[in-house]
Amino acid sequence: MADRQIGCNPVISKFARLLLNISLHLTPEDLSNIKLVLEVDGVLKRKTLDSLLNTADLFRLLYSRKIVQEDNLNLLTEILKQIHRYDCVKLI
């Protein structure tokens, strides 16, 4: 897939906007809780999680590993429910 050119009228996918919007709603404490869930459930190793500084980095990693995709937001939805961020679940 080729990178999209950003010019005068940038084209940002709905999926990218969704992840960005959720990321902007989450606090550092939320990020810590998400990391805990991902570690305990065996999705990612602690060393990998410790290197993530913000939710955008986390979403980027989950996307690159095909854990979260535009047509598969199940894990993200469940994690947001587990950390009681139902406001973010509603964004999905």
Domains of the chain in start order, with CATH, are 14-91 (1.10.533.10)
State pTM to two decimals.
0.80
Alpha-helical runs (H) found in 3-83? 14-25, 28-40, 46-50, 55-64, 74-82
Per-residue pLDDT band for 91 (boundaries 50, 70, 90) equals: very high
Residues 15-54 pLDDT 10s: 999 999 999 999 999 999 999 999 999 999 999 999 999 9
Residue with tokens 């999705």: 43
